[in-house]
Amino acid sequence: MAMLEVTNLGISFGGLRAVDNFNVKIEQGQLYGLIGPNGAGKTTIFNLLTGVYKPDSGSVRLDGKNITGKSVVQINKEGIARTFQNIRLFGKQTVIDNVKIGLHNTCRYSAAAGIFKLPVYFKREKQMNEKAIELLKVFDLDKDADVLASNLPYGKQRKLEIARALATNPKLLLLDEPAAGMNPNETMELVRTISFVREHFGMTILLIEHDMKLVSSICEQLTVLNFGSVLAQGDTADVLNDPEVIKAYLGE
């Protein structure tokens, strides 16, 4: 059974067919790439998978369960987490508090327990603090736990966003252009981070990226989008050598 199986997914905005008959199957533990020129529909697909948009055709199954049309919160609880091309952190909160926000999906207490500071409140807070520090250590961010997220360097903000996504305990992690705005050294470190996340957490990852060196170095399979439709799909090396892909996307 595939971790993610998308069948004939589509959506229109007005008279524009933004995504048309999109199909993909991603296996457990796979690192899969989604590429294409600007406006091809990549982020729209992420928004469909995470409930930001509701498809007008097709279906999405996560680990065998139909999640088509569910809300953002419901889909996150089912096991899909994501990051964004433009980093979305709670800048006025600390690094550890950003991660703890993600942990509220799996480690909760009632409103009454929080208001009246019942014993369960302190127990859950202690558990969340410990879990948050464990995640921050994975990304070498534990020493920055009390720093405001907005004061972190850009590369560390990217890491924190991934750590917060992982705090929701996902089955599938969607990364939307995580290398955007990074210098070559930061990109190399990001590649190591993504590879480590996959191995350490046994994570299935779907990656949108424009950096072809990054894509070719870590993605086993690719789908190339153009004008909302699949242009090519298959093993990374084969796709990147496809003349149609080179013509439409790589500009050669």
Residue 105 counted as domain residue = no
Domain limits at 230? Answer: 4-79+170-250
| pLDDT value for 110 | 54
What is 14-31 written as a DSSP string? TTEEEEEEEEEEE-TT-E
Residue 113 lies in a domain: no
Q: Is residue 205 part of a domain?
A: yes
Structural domain includes residue 88: no
Is 126 part of a structural domain of the chain? no
Give per-residue pLDDT as tens, 147-205: 999 999 999 999 999 999 999 999 999 999 999 888 889 888 999 999 999 998 999 99
Does a structural domain hold residue 144? no
Task: Calculate the alpha carbon distances from 191 to 68, 85, 155, 197 in Å.
Answer: 31, 16, 12, 10
pLDDT value of position 125: 76
* Distance in Å from the first CA to the final CA of the chain: 38
* Mean pLDDT along residues 137-151: 95
What is the number of domains present in the chain? 1
Q: Looking at residue 118, what is its pLDDT?
A: 56
More confident residue, 170 or 247: 170
**Per-residue model confidence (pLDDT) at position 105:** 66
Residue 233 lies in a domain: yes
Residue 140 CB coordination number (10 Å): 12
Find the CATH number of the domain harbouring 29: 3.40.50.300
One-letter-per-residue 3-state SS of 47-89: HHHCCCCCCCEEEEEECCEECCCCCHHHHHHHCEEECCCCCCC
* Cβ burial, residue 85 (10 Å; 0-12/13-18/19+): middle
pLDDT over 80 at 249, yes or no: no
The answer to which of 61-75, 93-107, 113-127, 209-223 has the lowest mean pLDDT is 113-127
Asked if residue 193 is part of any domain, the answer here is yes
Task: Between 107 and 79, name the one with better pLDDT.
Answer: 79
Tell whether the model's pLDDT for residue 7 goes beyond 80: yes
Assigned token pair, 136: 């921050």
Residue pLDDT, tens place only, 107-132: 565 554 555 455 555 677 788 888 99
Contact (CB, 8 A) for 204 and 173: yes
